[in-house]
Structure 1
Amino acid sequence: MVKVKTGTAPFSSLLGGITALAALSIDMSLPTLPAMTAALSAGHAAAQWTLSLFVLGFAGGQLFLGPLSDRVGRRPVLLCGLTGYVITGIACAMAPSIEVLVSMRFLQGLSACAGAVIARAIIRDVYDRQAAAAKQSILTVVTTLAMLIAPIVGAWLLGITGWRGVFALLPTVGAMVLILAMLIIPETRPVTTEKRVGVLHSYLLVLREPIMVGNAFVAAFIFGGLFVFIADSSTVFIRTLGISPQGFSWMFAIVALGQLAGSLLNRSLALRINPVRLVRVGGGITVVATVMIGLFALWEVNLYALLLAIALYAFALGMTNPNAIAAAMVPLPQYAGAASAVIGFLYFTMASFGASLSGYLLPGTVKGMLGIMAGFGTAGIIVLGLLEVYQARRAKVPVCASEAQN
């Protein structure tokens, strides 16, 4: 194994690349959905299931793999997951029917989740809270770059190879990431003499931490809103509004640029400003973007104004979520794998739920997509407000106790 220091750019970039596999798997397939469903004689709802079941597998697998990494180590779980991703990716590219494709996408999500859950745990193993927030922003930056290029590459490759060629590229990328992970990623699980508790006990400990649960829900709801756009935008823009796959890919890139800008700004501020304050700033921007999206769901607006509102929402996510995730990972460092699993499960369960809703509530319409986005954004804002109240009350307790003693 090549020795690479954990604080170096190659190490952080590879963690970002491992995490970005999910974005590649989802976003590269978006331009292919209309052509893929036509080729396999499937409907719109079936196309949404190729996304929502991938995300569901991605969410559910983390509940098992996170605690497993606390017991056997980060590295073996990561390498096994990446191997499974390559195998299931090949099966997706060769799927003879929509039923087989949906099944393989679920298994592909189960395999891909190892990268996300282990990357978050490794960051908690190696860095303190403020440094962790900055590193989480790097993961978001790399993932967002994947979101930027994936639809463009998918649309370009679709015209040359068809939808199967797009799906075949995913295991190829996965194989390269697997080789790099084998060479670079060390074992980072903290060495401890304490007896490790069982999986259920570790989850009970994690779920008893309001700071962890609250921040996890904030990140999950806000991401769920953006994922509604990710899941439904290709149908809305390509099929409903008649925009070409290439034109859609550039519109999608505008939104991804919004998230990239938020993540880069957060990375530059995270080491100098308390992450709690950055969450508040991101939450304030989320309020503005959610109100705009909610209003646009009621009244028709210019397409570019619509994209601006969604890009602002993505910018707010880039500011809010890295800090919320870092805060959620703080309370129980010895159970970083379990905490990471809970965060990932909530994150992608909300995404899967949003994708499913978009397939059944006013499917393929601008109003349906925006209305569901606004609902998720509002839920995230409410949870963030409740978390602020809880933290304010908890901060007053030591002061009151001291005054009582005096």
Structure 2
Amino acid sequence: MTDSGPGGPAGIPTRSSSRPTSDSEPGAPRPGSSAATTARSVERLTRGRRTGLLLILILGSLTALPALSMDLYLPALPALGGELGGAASQVQLTLTTCLLGLAVGQIVVGPMSDRFGRRRPLLIGMAGYVLASAACALAPTMAALTAFRLVQGLAGAAGIVIARAVVRDLFDGLAMARFFSTLMLVSGAAPVLAPVFGGQLLRVTDWRGIFLTLAVVGTLLALVAARWLPETLPADRRHGGGVREALRTMRTLLRDRVFTGYLLAGSLTFAALFAYVAASPFVVQEIYGASPQTFGLLFMVNSIGLVATGQLNGRVLVGRVRLDTVIGAGLVVTGTAALALLLMTTGVFGDVGLAAVAAGLFVLMSGMALVLPNASSQGLMRAGHAAGTASALIGTSQFLVGAIASPLVGIAGEHTAVPMALTQLSVIVLAAGCFLVMCRPWRQHD
């Protein structure tokens, strides 16, 4: 496979076009058939500036939902622990369980969407997300909140895995890589705005009000998707098998060394992101004494770097520079930033203060935008029509590795940032190793 076209492992069929076939073309679906109806709906959605923007907003919002679920209550973590009587490690466990739910939920919903279509699993998942968010707001104990967060993650997984599968339904090759980068305009707004909005919400409510806000957001997003997102997987392209066939498809994908290499490279980089998400409230507020509002502002600045670099990737680099080259450059940037953070937090440069640490985190976050969308695109280009299953594997791997990395940042307590920096450097080095050994970016892929 090259960077400019689709490919796939043996046994996984691929599509040769990034657009649905129109009814007038040879081999088009019969007029009035389910496939023809789906094709017309998809064609209307992808044609025209207004409908294209609507598609970006819907899919970007679905992709952003997990980040919103994590980031909106970040400024409230210290206060939440005080009210429910939990230590920093117990509070961070509420992040971990949500990540685990997102990981497990995707591996279930992805194959379901390949069998039943995209809309039905999405709407069921969104309904579950709303109910779980409301339950989190009413949680009486830390244990109950942790359990409800697991359910929230399980249900919220539908949005991110199906959004990624819909993109694969509609686009191939470089067009898919560009669309993923464009989605970062919307999905990236969640980490930009959520901590700031969460900090301001804390002026008028507490952490329970934040979870009620998530329930309202989930309700609105479910209504929008139900009204304007059509089915993108026609009946004749769905899998009729059950669990056994889904497992067989996953096994086929994972046997593809290159697909698995992109999956691991993206997932380990994602772990560095969640190490930052889990540790930054305590690093900024407890170690450096900043307010929740200051933390939200710094988080916003770092997220702007992620979004801006994502747009540089989609608008300038994709199509001009090989995607593997961009991924490699992103791993170098993030690895260098993680090493600098480790040296700063261990005192090698003396007492550097919050500004220097924030600068290192800004570079780290920005570099991730060169790795994450391109690694997902390269992996999905090898997945053919099993987009839901491939999307599930990618998403599950990301959130599972993130769930493992998140508690590591608090292993030495909440008064040192060394575990955060060490975790970030370790996972990025592993990501680079997987990318070089398994993807072999100097070669053209079959």
Interval containing the TM-score (normalised by the shorter chain): over 0.9
Opposite residue 17 of structure 1, the aligned amino acid is: S
**Counterpart for residue 142 of structure 2:** 98
Partner secondary structure for residue 359 of structure 1: coil
**1:228 has 2:275 as partner:** yes
* RMSD between superposed Cα atoms in Å: 2.0
Closer, same or farther: CA 253–68 of 1 in aligned 2, 3 Å: same
d(CA) in 2 for partners of 1:273 and 1:9? Answer: 26
d(CA) in 2 for partners of 1:204 and 1:81? Answer: 25
Counterpart of 1:291 (choices 339, 352, 366) is 339
Instruction: Give structure 1 stretches of 5+ with no counterpart.
Output: 399-406
Closer, same or farther: CA 42–195 of 1 in aligned 2, 3 Å: closer
**Counterpart for residue 215 of structure 2:** 171
Deviates more, 1:102-111 or 1:310-319: 310-319
CA deviation profile, 1:333-392 (whole Å, cap 9, x unmatched):
121111111100110111111111123245441112111111112111222221353x54
TM-score normalised to structure 2 length: 0.84
Could you tell me the percent identity over the aligned residues?
32
Opposite residue 110 of structure 2, the aligned amino acid is: G
Counterpart of 2:175 (choices 131, 140, 143) is 131
Counterpart of 1:331 (choices 376, 382, 389) is 382
Opposite residue 265 of structure 2, the aligned amino acid is: V
Deviation at 1:34, TM superposition (A): 1.0
**Counterpart for residue 201 of structure 1:** 248
Counterpart of 2:325 (choices 262, 277, 285) is 277
Closer, same or farther: CA 153–194 of 1 in aligned 2, 3 Å: closer
Deviation at 1:255, TM superposition (A): 1.4
CA deviation profile, 1:301-329 (whole Å, cap 9, x unmatched):
23222111111111111111101100001
Kept in 2: contact 1:32–1:163 (CA 8 A)? yes
**1:345 has 2:392 as partner:** no
d(CA) in 2 for partners of 1:75 and 1:134? Answer: 24
CA deviation profile, 1:129-150 (whole Å, cap 9, x unmatched):
2111111112333222110110
Instruction: Give structure 2 stretches of 5+ with no counterpart.
Output: 1-37
CA deviation profile, 1:235-254 (whole Å, cap 9, x unmatched):
12212322111111111112
TM-score normalised to structure 1 length: 0.92
Deviation at 1:183, TM superposition (A): 0.8
**Counterpart for residue 160 of structure 1:** 204
Deviates more, 1:303-312 or 1:104-113: 303-312
Deviation at 1:37, TM superposition (A): 1.2
**Counterpart for residue 117 of structure 2:** 73
Opposite residue 184 of structure 1, the aligned amino acid is: W
CA deviation profile, 1:96-135 (whole Å, cap 9, x unmatched):
1111111111000001110010011111110012111111
CA deviation profile, 1:173-230 (whole Å, cap 9, x unmatched):
1111000000111111255478645111111111111121110111111110121111
Structure 1 or 2: more helix by fraction: 1
**1:251 has 2:298 as partner:** yes
Deviates more, 1:87-96 or 1:273-282: 273-282
Kept in 1: contact 2:269–2:368 (CA 8 A)? yes
d(CA) in 1 for partners of 2:326 and 2:60? Answer: 21
Partner secondary structure for residue 189 of structure 2: helix
CA deviation profile, 1:257-306 (whole Å, cap 9, x unmatched):
22112111112132444322322332232232233223223324232221
Partner secondary structure for residue 203 of structure 2: helix
Displaced runs of 4 or more, over 6 A: none
**1:54 has 2:98 as partner:** yes
**1:378 has 2:429 as partner:** yes
Deviates more, 1:216-225 or 1:353-362: 353-362
d(CA) in 1 for partners of 2:205 and 2:362? Answer: 31
**1:42 has 2:86 as partner:** yes
Counterpart of 1:267 (choices 314, 338, 362) is 314
Kept in 1: contact 2:119–2:230 (CA 8 A)? yes
Opposite residue 86 of structure 1, the aligned amino acid is: V
Opposite residue 258 of structure 1, the aligned amino acid is: G
